């Protein structure tokens, strides 16, 4: 979806704010959200513009144990190395499916048109719905190397997925670098898959948007556990969600 009035990036920001993106498109938008401050600001702008549309709806608390069930599904998927099955609901007939799709498309177009015409409200952006959650994407000069990290304040755990790690004689080590510029060690990572790290209590206060995560490749025995002995090969800024 793009036009002269709404460029492709703006359309992507709007659709992400509305929750319309799925699959590869959503993954692309989330990567852009983490790496491009201008795009992130545009998404926040759309969320603020759309906020009045939701004022008439009461907040509903998530079911108890939802995060544990999600983590369980993720762990099961990783163990089986295949995606979890997705329940599909077939339309009752072709006509009803066509009508439902037409209605959905019309509703989306109406909401987007209303958002474009609606004057931007002079309100402060709403705070993150869960200030105890943060994510980061780490990239660097090594082709194909990508790390994604998710911190859960309720468990004080950070889950780090590693992809494209080259084979070397050194070991991947994760550090958090807060605003003071002094790296603090979080722990050693596996070369692939997901590593769970229990964030030390003294480091939890540094989980904020002023902090970066960095990856260094260290000897099997760290010369100094309080500071890296090698330059960063990947880094990324933490973002609240």
Domain positions in the chain are: 8-60+91-117, 133-240
* DSSP label at residue 130: -
Q: Kindly indicate the confidence band of residue 235, based on its pLDDT and cuts at 50, 70 and 90.
A: very high
45 phi, psi to nearest 5 deg: -65, -40
Closest CA to 131 of 240, 218, 1, 52: 240
> Does the structural domain 133-240 have CATH classification 2.60.40?
yes
Cα–Cα dist 157/204, whole Å: 10
49 phi, psi to nearest 5 deg: -70, -35
157 has which bridge partners?
152, 198
pLDDT, tens digit, 9 for 90 and up, residues 177-198: 999 999 999 999 999 999 999 9
Helix H or strand E encompassing 48: helix 37-50
C-alpha dihedral sign at 49, 50, 52, 55: negative
Helix H or strand E encompassing 14: helix 8-18
Burial class (CB in 10 A: 0-12, 13-18, 19+), 120: exposed
**Residue 28 confidence (pLDDT):** 87
Closest CA to 91 of 102, 82, 100: 100
Closest CA to 164 of 189, 185, 181: 189
Q: What's the mean pLDDT in 168-180?
A: 94
pLDDT, tens digit, 9 for 90 and up, residues 117-161: 555 554 454 444 445 788 899 999 988 999 999 999 999 999 999
**28 C-beta neighbours (distance < 10 Å), count:** 13
Q: Return the higher-pLDDT residue of 36 and 176.
A: 176
* DSSP label at residue 173: E
Closest CA to 137 of 164, 160, 165: 160
**Residue 110 confidence (pLDDT):** 55
- The lowest-confidence range among 52-61, 77-86, 122-131, 174-183 is 122-131
Within 13 Å and on the Cβ side, how many CA atoms surround 89?
Answer: 3
Cα–Cα dist 186/154, whole Å: 17
**Which range among 5-9, 38-42, 156-160 has the greatest average pLDDT?**
156-160
């Amino acid at each position: 979806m793009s036009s002269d009035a709404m460029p492709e990036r703006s359309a992507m920001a709007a659709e992400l704010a509305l929750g319309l993106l799925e699959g590869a498109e959503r993954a692309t938008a989330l990567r852009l959200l983490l790496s491009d401050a201008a795009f992130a600001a545009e998404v926040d702008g759309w969320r603020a513009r759309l906020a009045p549309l939701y004022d008439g709806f009461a907040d509903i608390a998530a079911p108890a144990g939802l995060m544990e069930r999600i983590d369980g599904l993720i762990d099961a998927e990783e163990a089986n190395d295949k995606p979890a099955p997705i329940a599909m609901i077939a339309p009752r007939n072709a006509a009803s499916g066509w009508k439902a799709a037409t209605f959905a498309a019309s509703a989306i177009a109406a909401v987007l048109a209303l958002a474009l015409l609606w004057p931007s409200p002079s309100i402060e952006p709403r705070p993150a719905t869960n200030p105890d959650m943060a994510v980061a994407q780490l990239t660097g000069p090594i082709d194909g190397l990508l790390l994604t990290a998710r911190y859960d304040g309720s468990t004080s755990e950070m889950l780090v997925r590693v992809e494209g790690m080259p084979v070397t004689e050194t070991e991947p080590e994760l550090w958090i670098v807060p605003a003071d510029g002094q790296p603090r060690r979080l722990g050693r990572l596996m070369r692939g898959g997901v590593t769970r790290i229990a964030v030390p209590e003294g480091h939890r206060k540094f989980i904020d948007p002023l902090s970066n995560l960095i990856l260094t490749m260290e000897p099997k025995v760290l010369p100094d556990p309080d500071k890296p002995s090698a330059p960063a090969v990947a880094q990324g800024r933490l973002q609240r969600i």
